[in-house]
Amino acid sequence: MNTIIITALSLGLLAFAMGVMLYYASIFFYVEEDPLIEEVNEILPQANCGACGVPGCLNFAEKLVKTRDMGLFCPVGGNDLALDIASLMGLEAVERSKMVARVMCQGGDHATRTGEYKGIKSCKAVAIARQNDFTCSYACLGYGDCVAVCDFDSIHIINGVAIVNEEKCTACNDCIIECPINIIELQPYDKTVFIACRSLDPGGPVRKYCSVGCTGCKLCVKACTFEAIHFDNNLAAIIPEKCTNCNDCVTECDTNTIVVSLKGMAEIKESIKSNEKVAL
């Protein structure tokens, strides 16, 4: 009986002593933190993707509250989030137009190959070994390094080429950094027309090695009444500021190189079935 009482008392006393120490420690070591940081952090998407330029959402909240710089923008939350944060902070929101990633290639199954790549199945591996087996040196390699790195399920390989789901894309830049041949570009979401090709080769070879490549025919340049298409080095490119989404160039282009971007996976799958003049 005695042993039990002594044990219980001594452990109890020990626990009490530790409790007292913890109480004083919590006062002595208390860190002053602005409660606003936690409030802001609560409404952030917690994707921890780094698109804002800061590592992690908590760090974003900290930096925002400390510097009070409303220029810091979270592309995942977008303008809606920016307005919420602004009302929390009591400052003016700085809105930005939504940007999306776009893959500047439609080759894949439409493009010819010169050899048979037998190495590690990754785009980075192909690019580093310089063993791209497409005849076109600017082709999307199709092994999906971009898909692996996307946190938002916004990019997929369909028919051998990468394509972005613009509804889900948060412009976090991960796929753009990952792509070893740099054919993914950030473009404004509301400019819906783009030229999905990066080949600088002249028309003759392009016609032979890809049925959807830019052949430099310049029909699009002539069709555009807003002078929004720029032609250089055998490749056409759209100037977003001048483009009005009229789609005249899309109609003129007879290799289907100029496309109207598709929003959402449902549309993408639909267009593959119907084979319209749209992005794959």
Partner 1 sequence: MRKSLFKPVTFKKGGIHPLENKHLSAHKAIVELPLPDQLSINLSQHLGKKAKAIVEKKQVVCIGDVIAEADGPFSALIHAPASGTIKRIEEKLSAQGIMETTIVIEVNKEKTGIDRSKFETLNEIDLSSFSREELIKKIQQNGIVGQGGAAFPTHMKLSPPLDKQIDVLIINGAECEPYLTADHQLMLEKSMEIIKGTLVLAKILGVEHTFIGIEQNKFDAIDLFTKILNDQNITHIQVIPLITKYPQGGEKQLINAITGRDIPSGQLPFDIGVVVHNVGTAFSIYEALYYNKPVMDRVTTITGFVKNPGNFRIKIGTSFQHAIDTGAQGFLDEERVRSVINGGPMMGQSVRQLDVTVMKGTGGIVALADAEITYQDEGPCIRCSRCIDVCPINLMPLQLADDTIMNNGKLLRDALDCIECGNCSYICPTNRKLVHWIKIGKKVYRTWKVQEEKFNKNI
CB of 111 to partner 1, least distance (A): 14
Binding residues among 7-46 for partner 1 as defined by CB under 8 A: none
Among 11, 12, 21, 55, binds partner 1 (CB under 8 A): 55
Among 13, 15, 91, 120, binds partner 1 (CB under 8 A): 120
Give the separation between CA 73 and CA 86, rounded to whole angstroms: 11
Question: Bridge partners of 79?
Answer: none
Measured CA to CA in angstroms, residue 187 lies from 49, 53, 164, 239, 261 at distances of 19, 18, 12, 10, 11
Residue whose entry in the numeric block shows the structure tokens 């003759």: 204
Among 41, 106, 132, 165, binds partner 1 (CB under 8 A): 132
Phi, psi of 61 (to 5 degrees): -60, -45
Among 45, 50, 144, 203, binds partner 1 (CB under 8 A): 50
Is 177 a binding residue for partner 1 by CB under 8 A? The answer is yes
Is 54 a binding residue for partner 1 by CB under 8 A? The answer is yes
- Of the two residues 85 and 179, which places its CB atom closer to partner 1 in the complex? 179
Nearest by Cα to 278 from 251, 240, 238: 251
Type and span of the H or E element at 99 = strand 99-103
Among 114, 159, 244, 245, binds partner 1 (CB under 8 A): 114
Among 6, 69, 83, 119, binds partner 1 (CB under 8 A): 119
- Let me know: does 140 contact 107? Beta carbons within 8 Å: yes
Residues of the shown chain interacting with partner 1 in the complex, contacts defined by CB under 8 A: 50, 53-55, 59, 63, 114-115, 118-120, 122, 124-125, 128-133, 137, 177, 180, 200-201
